[in-house]
């Protein structure tokens, strides 16, 4: 009887050890599978752009996008030509040197060949001065604070 008991005890110890090995194996396989699935999900999300930080930015939000929008709405003009074209708004004679139109951004007088931006509000600026202002995320006229571009759906989504 004693011998049999010892043998049984040895067997059950061996069983427990086997069971322990199986549990370790199962846990190991499960964690490996879990890791693989997690990597797969992250890869899929990256590919579909869910986790992408640069892909979701609207073109209007980048300086290039804003400039394109500005070019479309307010194409640059040569000051002298704009002045002639806009004559109905300037019933008087062309301005003399003293009362020349001034770009309030750089405070320089407009020269005849200067490239300008003529805003809907009637204010004009040098093209390079205004472009720097506008691409610096300023959506309004520096003088009268009216919106430069009409509000669109794209600009409302921030």
Binding positions for Zn ion, rule: CB under 5 A: 103, 105-106, 121, 123, 126, 129, 141, 143-144
Name residue 125's beta-bridge partners: 117
User: Residue 66 or residue 148: which is nearer to Zn ion going by CB?
Assistant: 148
> Hey, which bits of 3-154 come out as E strands?
77-78, 102-103, 108-109, 115-118, 124-126
DSSP 107: T
Smallest separation (angstroms) from Zn ion to the CB of 45: 45
Smallest separation (angstroms) from Zn ion to the CB of 63: 18
Smallest separation (angstroms) from Zn ion to the CB of 150: 14
Phi and psi angles of residue 144, each rounded to the nearest 5 degrees, phi first: -110, 0
User: Residue 66 or residue 123: which is nearer to Zn ion going by CB?
Assistant: 123
Say how far apart CA 35 and CA 132 lie, in whole Å.
49
Smallest separation (angstroms) from Zn ion to the CB of 137: 17
User: Residue 107 or residue 158: which is nearer to Zn ion going by CB?
Assistant: 107
User: Residue 12 or residue 115: which is nearer to Zn ion going by CB?
Assistant: 115
- Is residue 115 within 8 A of residue 125, CB to CB? The reply is no
């Amino acid at each position: 009887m004693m011998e049999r008991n010892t043998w049984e005890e040895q067997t059950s110890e061996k069983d427990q050890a086997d069971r322990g090995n199986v549990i370790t194996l199962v846990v190991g396989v499960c964690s490996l599978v879990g890791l693989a699935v997690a990597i797969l999900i992250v890869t899929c999300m990256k590919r579909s752009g869910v986790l992408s930080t640069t892909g979701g930015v609207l073109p209007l939000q980048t300086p290039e996008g804003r400039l394109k929008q500005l070019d479309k709405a307010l194409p640059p003009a040569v000051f002298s030509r704009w002045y002639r074209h806009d004559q109905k708004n300037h019933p008087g004679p062309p301005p003399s040197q003293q009362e020349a139109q001034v770009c309030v951004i750089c405070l320089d007088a407009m020269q005849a060949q200067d490239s300008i931006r003529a805003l809907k509000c009637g204010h004009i600026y040098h093209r390079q001065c205004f472009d720097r202002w506008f691409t610096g995320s300023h959506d309004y006229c520096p003088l009268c604070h009216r919106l430069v571009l009409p509000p669109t759906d794209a600009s409302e989504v921030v």
